[in-house]
């Protein structure tokens, strides 16, 4: 069935159960950003394939069906929702109601909201209740997975085998991490600590899996019960590491037992969990607790502060990744004139070159290969049904990453395939200048991500009055999720987690961009690590970023008249660093090309 037929079937079930509006988020049972095929209910009911968005289907056809998406997906959603009964809601745009506001406007007092309580966070339920209360309304809840009843041929729940993540990569052993967690929980007076986020559990227990494509995590829940660690996971998946976990005092139980376990063990006790991540059913399971307190997980496990072993591993992963992607850029430029390269084929070639590197385990996210106008779609994904052939002119925007045992990479290069317009050079140079300024400007201890964000946007405002509708930077895991909380460099209104001050050991992306609908897109992204930069003249301690990514920029795309002498120097220094680090791993022709493109540029 198609989208409209699926919505009709859903409305029949809603009618039978007296549900007035049904919410379909992108989430799995853990609030994950990327989800396995089993959890792609929002894609099933709307046809939109992006990695983020929330749908609401009203029982009345007259009230409609809606999908909220952020700025990364405005153009993609517009294209994919054509011909469906689903209306696109562009989050943050003037006049566009929030999901909670539309529900409160359309529904009457006592209306019934439906959703699968395992995939909706308690924080969203709280927001919906608060918005309804403003209007003197109160909603009732019906928790049931209705999509499962109409999704024929739904994929099975993933249970790929887990593996131990060696301490030579993690830098800290499982026992050390658990001991630190116990101490932090005890200091807060917690008797039952519940963790639901997959990457946090994988980091804490030094395990990795393959239950979410491109994210090496294991479908699981974790509870620290009066100091005793308990892991809930699917038996077939956790079997390869069960003995080692138990040897370190971790009790292993079946995945679906978590709700009953919490109900039985929380009675009259002090419970700590992250309400922003925990699903509605987990919170409901805590109803008989003596006290429930919400803290962000990163308050207890500071995995975003990378230890020396992790930083060293990330640097090595980026060296290997730099070799693969530099070889790939050379290959693309050498072959584009033949007229046989497509967005799909060049992605396949990059995957092949990455997999040839030691300890590469695959992509860290689905590659974004946008040629020409497709580059303006921020999170574009080519498909066998829709893709472009490359031509020896214009830009190819390539945002890709790899998973290595030593670390996770994420890099964007906008590649000049041939002749460029003055507008394309203007935009490329403005983006590069913002990128370089953020990479090189020292800043005081205590500086927050929202303050740093302004630095990268400055040249875009100055040159063409442009601003991009996404964040400038995000945290990255170590052989874990490519987007890792809580590190963020973004405008305050785009923040999804706390606006933290930067510290030594944080790793962030640096990725400003310009997107001209129907023409081209430009984004340039490095991963960078935060280090001490001494003191300024007033005695203030300073921090700075140092690049991990080692892949050349595009000298032929520069408008040198736009750049300051300092920016030109920064550009030349980075190009020289790439040549030094990457050239030993290239063949004769690749090396000669890299030597040419990394020659110092002059005004």
The answer to whether 507 and 481 are in contact (CB under 8 A) is no
Please tell me whether the peptide bond between 57 and the residue prior to it is cis, using omega within 30 degrees of 0: no
Output 367 or 73, whichever has higher pLDDT.
367
Distance CA 75, CA 383 (A): 16
User: What mean pLDDT value characterizes the chain?
Assistant: 96
* Predicted local confidence at residue 381, as pLDDT: 87
In the structure, what pLDDT confidence band is assigned to residue 603 with cuts at 50, 70 and 90? Answer: confident
Listed in order, the ranges of the chain carrying CATH 3.90.230.10 are 308-597
How many CB atoms neighbour CB 576 within 10 A? Answer: 13
Judged against a pLDDT cut of 90, whether residue 259 lies above it is answered with yes
How many CB atoms neighbour CB 119 within 10 A? Answer: 25
Judged against a pLDDT cut of 90, whether residue 166 lies above it is answered with yes
Judged against a pLDDT cut of 90, whether residue 521 lies above it is answered with yes
Q: How many Cα atoms sit within 13 Å of 203 on the Cβ side?
A: 28
Per-residue pLDDT reduced to its tens digit, 141-158: 999 999 999 999 999 999
Give the H/E segment covering residue 53: none
- As a whole number, mean pLDDT of residues 315-326 equals 98
233, two tokens: 């996971």
Judged against a pLDDT cut of 90, whether residue 71 lies above it is answered with no
* Predicted local confidence at residue 100, as pLDDT: 95
Judged against a pLDDT cut of 90, whether residue 379 lies above it is answered with no
Residue with tokens 């429930």: 292
Distance CA 20, CA 115 (A): 11
Distance CA 453, CA 476 (A): 17
The answer to whether 24 and 54 are in contact (CB under 8 A) is yes
- As a whole number, mean pLDDT of residues 201-220 equals 97
Distance CA 365, CA 363 (A): 5
In the structure, what pLDDT confidence band is assigned to residue 415 with cuts at 50, 70 and 90? Answer: very high
Topology adopted by domain 3-150: Creatine Amidinohydrolase; Chain A, domain 1 (3.40.350)
Helix %, strand %, coil % for the chain, to 5? Answer: 40, 25, 35
Judged against a pLDDT cut of 80, whether residue 1 lies above it is answered with no
Which 8-state DSSP code applies to residue 336? G
* Predicted local confidence at residue 2, as pLDDT: 92
Per-residue pLDDT reduced to its tens digit, 228-250: 999 999 999 999 999 999 999 99
Q: Which of 113, 18, 584 is nearest to 323 (CA)?
A: 584
Which 8-state DSSP code applies to residue 542? E
Say which residues have a Cβ less than 8 Å from residue 66's Cβ, sequence separation at least 6.
55, 56, 86, 87, 88, 89, 99, 102
Per-residue pLDDT reduced to its tens digit, 107-143: 999 999 999 999 998 888 989 999 999 999 999 999 9
Please tell me whether the peptide bond between 568 and the residue prior to it is cis, using omega within 30 degrees of 0: no
Q: Cα separations (Å) of 320 from 105, 181, 581?
A: 53, 34, 10
28, two tokens: 């799995």
Look up the pTM and report it. 0.92
- As a whole number, mean pLDDT of residues 185-213 equals 97
Give the H/E segment covering residue 192: strand 192-195
Torsion sign across C-alpha atoms 442, 446, 452, 454? negative
Phi, psi angles (nearest 5°) of residue 396? -115, 115
* Predicted local confidence at residue 231, as pLDDT: 98
Judged against a pLDDT cut of 90, whether residue 206 lies above it is answered with yes
How many CB atoms neighbour CB 134 within 10 A? Answer: 10
Topology adopted by domain 163-299: Creatine Amidinohydrolase; Chain A, domain 1 (3.40.350)
Judged against a pLDDT cut of 80, whether residue 496 lies above it is answered with no
Residue with tokens 């072993």: 309
Listed in order, the ranges of the chain carrying CATH 3.40.350.10 are 3-150, 163-299
Distance CA 381, CA 374 (A): 9
SS3 460: helix
Judged against a pLDDT cut of 90, whether residue 56 lies above it is answered with yes
Rg (CA), the chain: 25
* Predicted local confidence at residue 251, as pLDDT: 98
- Class in CATH terms, 308-597: alpha beta
Judged against a pLDDT cut of 80, whether residue 288 lies above it is answered with yes
Q: In DSSP terms, which residues pair with 146 in a beta bridge?
A: none
* Predicted local confidence at residue 495, as pLDDT: 77
């Amino acid at each position: 069935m198609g989208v409209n037929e699926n919505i009709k079937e859903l409305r029949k079930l809603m009618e039978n159960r007296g549900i007035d509006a049904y919410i379909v988020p992108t989430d799995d049972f853990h609030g994950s950003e990327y989800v396995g095929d089993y959890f792609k209910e929002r894609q099933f009911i709307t046809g939109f394939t992006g990695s983020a968005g929330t749908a609401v289907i009203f029982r009345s056809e007259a009230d409609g069906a809606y999908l909220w998406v952020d700025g990364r997906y405005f153009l993609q959603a517009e294209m994919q929702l054509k011909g469906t009964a689903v209306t696109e809601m562009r989050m943050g745009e003037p006049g566009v109601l929030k999901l909670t506001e539309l529900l409160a406007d359309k529904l009457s007092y006592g209306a019934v909201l439906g959703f699968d309580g395992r995939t909706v966070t308690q924080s969203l339920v709280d927001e919906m209740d608060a918005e309804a209360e403003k209007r003197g309304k109160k909603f009732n809840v019906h928790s049931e997975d209705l999509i499962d009843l109409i999704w024929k041929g739904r994929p099975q729940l993933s249970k790929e085998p887990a593996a131990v993540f060696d301490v030579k990569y993690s830098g800290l052993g499982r026992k050390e991490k658990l001991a630190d967690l116990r101490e932090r929980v005890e200091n807060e007076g917690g008797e039952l600590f519940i963790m639901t986020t997959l990457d946090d559990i994988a980091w804490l227990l030094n395990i990795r899996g393959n239950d979410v494509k491109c994210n090496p995590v294991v479908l699981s829940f974790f509870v620290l019960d009066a100091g005793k660690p308990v892991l809930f996971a699917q038996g077939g998946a956790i079997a390869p590491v069960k003995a080692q976990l138990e040897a370190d005092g971790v009790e292993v139980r079946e995945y679906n037992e978590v709700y009953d376990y919490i109900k039985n063990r929380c009675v009259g006790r002090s419970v700590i969990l992250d309400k922003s991540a925990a699903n509605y059913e987990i919170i409901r399971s805590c109803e008989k607790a003596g006290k429930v307190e919400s803290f962000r997980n990163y308050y207890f496990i500071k995995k975003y502060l990378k230890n020396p072993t992790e930083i060293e591993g990330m640097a090595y992963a980026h060296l290997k990744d730099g070799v693969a992607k530099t070889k790939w850029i050379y290959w693309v430029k050498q072959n584009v004139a033949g007229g046989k390269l497509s967005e799909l084929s060049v992605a396949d070639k990059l995957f092949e070159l990455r997999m040839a590197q030691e300890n590469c385990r695959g992509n860290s996210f689905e590659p974004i290969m946008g040629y020409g106008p497709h580059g303006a779609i921020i999170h574009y994904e080519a498909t066998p049904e829709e893709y472009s052939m490359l031509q020896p002119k214009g830009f190819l925007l390539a945002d890709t990453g790899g998973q290595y045992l030593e670390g996770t990479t994420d890099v964007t290069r906008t590649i000049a395939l041939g002749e460029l317009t003055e507008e394309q050079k203007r935009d490329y140079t403005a983006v590069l200048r913002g990128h370089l300024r953020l990479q090189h400007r020292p800043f005081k201890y205590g500086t927050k991500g929202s303050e740093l964000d302004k630095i990268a946007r400055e040249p875009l405002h100055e040159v063409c009055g442009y601003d991009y509708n996404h964040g400038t930077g995000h945290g990255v895991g170590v052989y874990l999720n490519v987007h890792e909380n809580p590190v963020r460099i973004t405008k305050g209104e785009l923040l999804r987690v706390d606006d933290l001050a930067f510290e030594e050991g944080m790793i962030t992306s640096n990725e400003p961009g310009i997107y001209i609908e129907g023409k081209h897109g430009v984004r340039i992204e490095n991963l960078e690590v935060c280090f001490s930069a001494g003191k300024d003249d007033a005695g203030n301690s300073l921090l700075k970023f140092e690049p991990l990514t080692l892949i050349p920029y595009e000298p032929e795309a520069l408008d040198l008249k736009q750049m300051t002498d300092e920016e030109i120097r920064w550009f030349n220094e980075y190009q020289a660093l790439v040549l030094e680090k990457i050239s030993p791993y290239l063949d004769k022709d690749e090396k000669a090309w890299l030597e040419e493109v990394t020659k110092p540029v002059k005004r």
